[in-house]
């Protein structure tokens, strides 16, 4: 199955296989489009081996600003200096929850390397347009990915109503409103998602996550 990405760990291939026709159809429909992230980064969240996934953070869809999306929900590449507003709020809560220094870079690859699956519900968008690909069928595929992680006893962080639609998939999830500036003050700040994930992991006999970036 060619999904146009060098980043998928082999352990995810059986998970994606049932969706191969859908993936081929979606990727075919995007051939002449200017998309975010670049095609070879669409499945970059799956670089972490399935057996190592301890936490799943669900995002909505990739950043539409050119150069910002690189296949990991909420994350931006090192070379992008301006940290998006939702990610700024995530970093504020990280500091408030665990006392960690607010990171200078918005690159969350260290979380991925800790077994955090940074998964958007919709894996692509058009550059310059949010939610442009919500009707292509990505949600069915990403639900399958989330289910595979849930079967490994991963704990979910579900911010906002779209992410919370996946709550029934997980045995354990931490939920709040989205970290967007539009909603963060209505229950995201003070929700302590990072310490709650670690408490849940310890409770089920798994290693907690080192959230330092």
Catalytic residues: 61
What does DSSP say about strands 125-126 and 116-120: parallel, antiparallel, or unpaired?
unpaired
Buried b / exposed e across 156-183, counting CB within 10 Å, b at 16+?
A: bbbbbebbbebeebbebbbbbbbbeeeb
How far apart, in Å, are the Cα atoms of 71 and each of 18, 103, 106? Answer: 21, 20, 13
Angstrom distance (rounded) from CA 83 to CA 86:
8
How far is Cα 14 from Cα 21, in angstroms, rounded to an integer?
A: 14
DSSP 98-110: H-PPPPSS---HH
Locus of tokens 């607010």: 102
């Amino acid at each position: 199955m060619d999904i146009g990405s060098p980043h998928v760990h082999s352990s995810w291939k059986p998970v994606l296989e049932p969706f191969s026709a859908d993936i081929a159809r979606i990727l075919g429909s995007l051939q002449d489009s200017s998309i975010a992230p670049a095609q070879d980064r669409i499945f970059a969240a799956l670089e972490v081996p399935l057996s190592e996934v301890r936490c799943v953070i669900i995002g909505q869809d990739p950043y539409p600003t050119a150069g910002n999306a690189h296949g990991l929900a909420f994350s931006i590449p090192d070379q992008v200096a301006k940290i998006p507003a939702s990610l700024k709020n995530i970093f504020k809560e990280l500091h408030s929850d665990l006392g960690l220094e607010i990171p200078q870079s918005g690159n969350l690859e260290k979380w991925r390397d800790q077994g955090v699956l940074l998964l958007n519900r919709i894996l692509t968008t058009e550059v310059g347009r949010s939610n442009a690909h919500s009707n292509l069928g990505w949600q069915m595929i990403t639900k399958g990915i989330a289910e595979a992680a849930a079967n490994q006893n991963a704990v979910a962080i579900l911010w906002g109503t779209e992410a919370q639609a996946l709550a029934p998939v997980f045995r354990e999830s931490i939920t709040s409103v989205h970290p967007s500036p539009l909603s963060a003050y209505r229950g995201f700040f003070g929700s302590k998602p990072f310490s709650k994930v670690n408490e849940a992991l310890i409770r089920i006999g798994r290693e907690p996550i080192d959230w330092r970036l």
